Structure 1
């Protein structure tokens, strides 16, 4: 998953950050989330999920407080095939 952050993300995310992190921890614990994080300039987010289908990942992303509150402003899912 590649996505974009809103302007002034570091300020705007504050009220939603703990709920966001708690959700990510649950996803990681369940095995669906492999990794996620921002680019160094905090303009993009990148995540790797292991799920049955794209719809599952879309549901996860759209349930996140960052998506629901406009912290993530857009996202794109691309199926990825691990070669090595």
Structure 2
């Protein structure tokens, strides 16, 4: 199955702004992980960006997952890009 990298950017003051949406965000990620779609995801240490790796049928599937996430819907993620990725090793 194809792999995709999602690169996103967080809003300013992310720690305080994400609080009301964090549990729903984590629950959704856990469901994606259990379904085998999400390989891994996490923020950069400075909380400016996040990176995720997905295994999905196509890019549109990844975009639908990102756009359904409470962080996207509530402006915690302010922008994102999806790239098909070829895992070499």
Deviations 1:29-78 (A, max 9, x none): 00000000000000000000000100000000000000000000000000
Alignment of 1:1-84 (within 5 A): 1-84=6-89
Flag as ranges the 4+ runs of structure 1 deviating above 2 A.
none
How does the TM-score come out when normalised to structure 1? 0.99
Q: Any unmatched runs of 5+ in structure 2?
A: 1-5
Which has a greater percent of strand?
A: 2
Offset at residue 83 of structure 1 (A): 1.1
Where do 5+ consecutive residues of structure 1 fail to align?
Answer: none
Greater RCO, CA 8 A, separation 6+ = 2
| Other structure's SS at 1:78 match | strand
Aligned counterparts of 1:41 and 1:19: Cα–Cα separation in 2 = 22
After TM superposition, the score normalised by the length of structure 2 is 0.94
> Quick one: distance in 2 between partners of 1:48 and 1:59?
14
